[in-house]
Amino acid sequence: MMIRLGLVGIGKIARDQHLPAIRADDRYELVATASRHAQLDGVPGHVDIAAMIAGDHRLGAVSICTPPVGRHAIAAAAIDAGLHVMLEKPPAATTTEISALADYARARGVTLFATWHSREAAGVGPARDWLSDKRIRAAHIRWKEDIRRWHPGQEWILDAGGFGVFDPGINALSIMAAILPAPLLLDAAQIDIPEGRGSPIAATMAMRSGDAEVTADLDFLQTGPQSWDIEVETDAGTLRLSMGGSVLELPGGEPVTREDREYPRLYTRFAELIAAGKSDVDIRPLQLVADAFLVAERRTVAPFQF
């Protein structure tokens, strides 16, 4: 059955990832958009979710790609209208918001899909399978990228509620929470917040999974080569994921690179959930970020300008 889809938010991530995935999947028909700042040629556009719902497009589902602050109200309006909802990561501004949305979707009998696109990287599933029967000794995240390259001019990302360096960093946490056999728990953190900003430009996290030490080093100011790397030390050697999970290296083997289809896989999963009448809402990565803000030592660092 064709899913008549509305897209809310037409920013960089929607244009770079969501639109190509939607257009390539014959299970979807993009019938409307909602954005205060942009429209798509040939697709009816509206200024907000209320106008889109009222537009008589016979919508069946919406995909929400707005910044996390304010997303709860958008998703709640869609659920209230009986629409299935897919959420770009992070799924909401707070853990309370996403839990409330999950409850509301359940009560209304609609699908809610809180996506974690990095989990769909080519090496993540095989990494999880390989680690399932191993003893984990330690694990390390190095997630360092250039904010000016990947988020040009996106001032909101350093506002309060914008997540700062945790916006990309939560991708690594989503992978780690998925591949480690034991729960991931936070012990301590440090966050560096530029003077006059509300969210961190860098962070470190000290965690544990079972009896294994897990560390994370997150940076939004890395120029040159970018680092999206995870290492997991086990009793059978060290597993390495690089390039955000698209390259997998197992002990004794060569790095294996496979084609990434992160967003096409997300839309496949959304269609499957709708067909099965189910939801998929894993809030563990968001909980880890919330925990970091709770316990972190805060440092004020030099002002940042795009």
Q: Catalytic residue numbers?
A: 89
Sheet bearing 3-8, strands edge to edge: 45-46, 28-34, 3-8, 61-64, 84-87, 112-114
The H-or-E segment that residue 177 falls in is: helix 166-179
**Measured between alpha carbons, how far is residue 213 from residues 130, 139, 184, 231, 296 in Å?**
19, 6, 10, 12, 18
Q: Peptide bond before 152: cis, by omega within 30 degrees of 0?
A: no
The H-or-E segment that residue 227 falls in is: strand 227-234
Q: Which residues contact 30 (CB under 8 A, 6 or more apart)?
A: 5, 6, 7, 19, 22, 23, 40, 43
* Nearest of 197, 117, 183, 213 to residue 155 by alpha carbon: 197
**3-state DSSP call for residue 85?**
strand
Neighbours of 211 (CB within 10 A): 10
Distance in angstroms (rounded) separating the CA atoms of residues 81 and 73: 12
DSSP letter for each residue of 86-142: EEPSS--SSHHHHHHHHHHHHHHT--EEE--GGGGSTTHHHHHHHHTTSPEEEEEEE
Q: Which residues contact 133 (CB under 8 A, 6 or more apart)?
A: none
Token pair recorded at residue 118? 């990095």
Distance in angstroms (rounded) separating the CA atoms of residues 35 and 45: 7
